[in-house]
Amino acid sequence: MASMADVARRANVAVSTVSYALNGTRPVAKATADRIHRAMDELGYRPNALARGLASRRSRNVALIFPMLERGLGLTEMEFVSAAAETAGDLGYHLVLWSTPLGDTELLTKLTRQGLVDGVVIMEVHLADARIEMLRRTGVPFCMIGRTGDNGDDPFADIDFESTVRDAVAHLRALGHEKIGFINHSRASYDAGYGPSVRAAHAFEDAAGADGVSRFCDDSPTAGREIWRELTAAAPGVTGLIVMNERASAGVLAAIAQQGARVPEDFSVLSVASSERVAEMTYPPLTTFHPPAAELGRLGVQVLIDRLEGREVPLVQQLIPCRLVLRDSTGPANRQPGAGN
């Protein structure tokens, strides 16, 4: 296996010059750098990323912090991760995924102090998030995909859940649905101050008013089946349903079919913040407000790396609404007596 000394001999330069060309600690003439990289290619030399990081005091690694949740990583979450990893690579960095317990700031502190990463992107942000407080206190560069209740000068990119839920209610109302149900994430996530759960719940209450019926639901198809039966028993007039719980949506559709009802003839079901791949797996395929997952993943990493590189750019605090994608699960309200019962 070729060494840095082999590269230096082939390029007719000092070993230190090869090191400077790789880690950027000192300027190297373009012709010399080209000669070094040509020698590397000829010899099949691949620099050790850790060694380069130690030499430059930069790891050129960034971490995506995704806490260990009961529901794990689904297809929608993977869209965030894939876009973040691709963007980091395009910008000359490596992305590592750290799945730390949500409230374990001690572990996160230890990880960031080891110098393995230059900064972090935080996902699954809560309104009062101890991780953000720790990062502010220790000065670790970060960007949020999500936002707290008091962001100050912290950079973030997030789904505009308020406008997305309002648009979802308006879409069903335009189809003639007067009584609308809403299935959120779990009660535990709301009580813990999980940003999407809290913001969506409040937005639905404001938009749907007295004709809205909302329920919390654990993240599973079984829970989706159970909560649909409970919701329709308590509010039999519901004909339109908004689901902001990707894993529960399949259970909801199954429960409707088990009742002998049809989608969208008897009930319209609209999924919020669900990936297109998940929406197309169900029967019928779900109309969705598709989340800008790839855009947010790219933006979160780009903003962090801009900070790491010392670029003077405006503070990014950006909200992006979901995009309506019409499929087969929504249609005009059935106004026949007893429809959907």
At residue 71, the pLDDT reads 60
Q: Token digits for 183? A: 């299935």
For the chain, the structural domain boundaries read 4-56, 61-159+293-322, 161-290
At residue 1, the pLDDT reads 63
The confidence score (pLDDT) of residue 340 equals 42
In Å, how far are 275, 277, 279 from 282, measured between CA atoms? 12, 9, 6
Please tell me the predicted confidence (pLDDT) of residue 156.
97
CATH of 61-159+293-322, one of 3.40.50.1000, 3.40.50.2300, 3.40.50.261, 3.40.50.150: 3.40.50.2300
CA distance 153 to 328: 43
Name the CATH code of domain 161-290 (choices 3.40.50.12280, 3.90.228.20, 3.20.10.10, 3.40.50.2300). 3.40.50.2300
Contacts of 104 (CB under 8 A, 6+ apart): none
pLDDT in tens, 170-218: 999 999 999 999 999 999 999 999 999 999 999 999 999 999 999 999 9
Average pLDDT in the chain = 89
Matching fold, domains 4-56 and 61-159+293-322? no
Q: Is the pLDDT of residue 124 over 80?
A: yes
What average pLDDT does range 111-122 have in this prediction? 88
Q: Which region holds residue 67: left if phi is over 0, alpha if psi is between -120 and 50, else beta?
A: beta
pLDDT(328) > 70: yes
Cα 211-280-145 angle, rounded to 5 deg:
70
**pLDDT per position as a tens digit, 240-278:** 999 999 999 999 999 999 999 999 999 999 999 998 888
Question: In which region does residue 147 sit, left (phi positive, over 0), alpha (psi from -120 to 50) or beta (all else)?
Answer: beta
Asked if pLDDT for residue 298 goes beyond 60, the answer is yes
Banded model confidence at residue 130, pLDDT cuts 50, 70, 90? very high
Report d(CA 292, CA 303) in Å as an integer: 16
For the chain, what is the HEC assignment? CCCHHHHHHHHCCCHHHHHHHHHCCCCCCHHHHHHHHHHHHHHCCCCCHHHHHHHHCCCCEEEEECCCCCCCCCHHHHHHHHHHHHHHHHCCCEEEEECCCCCCHHHHHHHHHCCCCCEEEECCCECCCHHHHHHHHHCCCEEEECCCCCCCCCCEEEECHHHHHHHHHHHHHHCCCCCEEEECCCHHHHHCCEHHHHHHHHHHHHHHHHHEEEECCCCCHHHHHHHHHHHHHHCCCCCEEEECCHHHHHHHHHHHHHCCCCCCCCCEEEEECCCHHHHCCCCCCCEEEECCHHHHHHHHHHHHHHHHCCCCCCCCEEEECCEEECCCCCCCCCCCCCCCC
Give Cα 115 distance to the centre of its chain: 25
CB 253 within 8 A of CB 327: no
* Statement: residue 318 has pLDDT above 90: yes
Q: Average pLDDT, stretch 207-231?
A: 96
Instruction: Give domain 4-56's CATH architecture.
Output: Orthogonal Bundle (1.10)
